Amino acid sequence: MNPYSVLVKPVLSEKSMTAREREEGRKYTFLIHDKASKIDVKKAVEKIFEVNVVSINTMVTRGKSRRRGMVVSQLPSKKKAIVTLKSGQKIKVFEDR
């Protein structure tokens, strides 16, 4: 799998930002391709950002159902990865200071 198609976009939520602050900037959260494995994510992060990955936790969030009158629709599911980097390393794109 192409490393640039594995990572869809970073997750910049309040929860991901507090996790990054709590771990001295070592944890980063990404939305990833739903067919990507942990090995694919590790190779992609190491190649794109030139850092060393220690561990990866992945999760699938099921899509919520929406209702508009009598019509019920389903939002798509998403797959997220929480990437922990080696101590002392950071991804410069996320650092705004």
Residue 61 lies in a domain: yes
Token couple for 24: 């001295």
At 97, the pLDDT band (50, 70, 90 cuts) reads: low
94 assigned to some structural domain: no
**Mean pLDDT, residues 24-50 taken together:** 94
Q: CATH number, domain at 53? A: 3.30.70.330
Q: Which pTM does this prediction carry? A: 0.86
- Which domain, by its residues, includes 67? 3-85
Express each pLDDT in 47-96 by its tens digit.
Answer: 999 999 999 999 999 999 999 999 999 999 999 999 999 998 988 887 76
DSSP letters, 37-67, are -HHHHHHHHHHHH---EEEEEEEEEPPPEEE
pLDDT at 7: 96
Contacts of 37 by beta carbon, 8 Å cutoff, 6+ apart:
none
* Structural domains counted in the chain: 1
In whole angstroms, give the CA distance from residue 19 to residue 17: 5
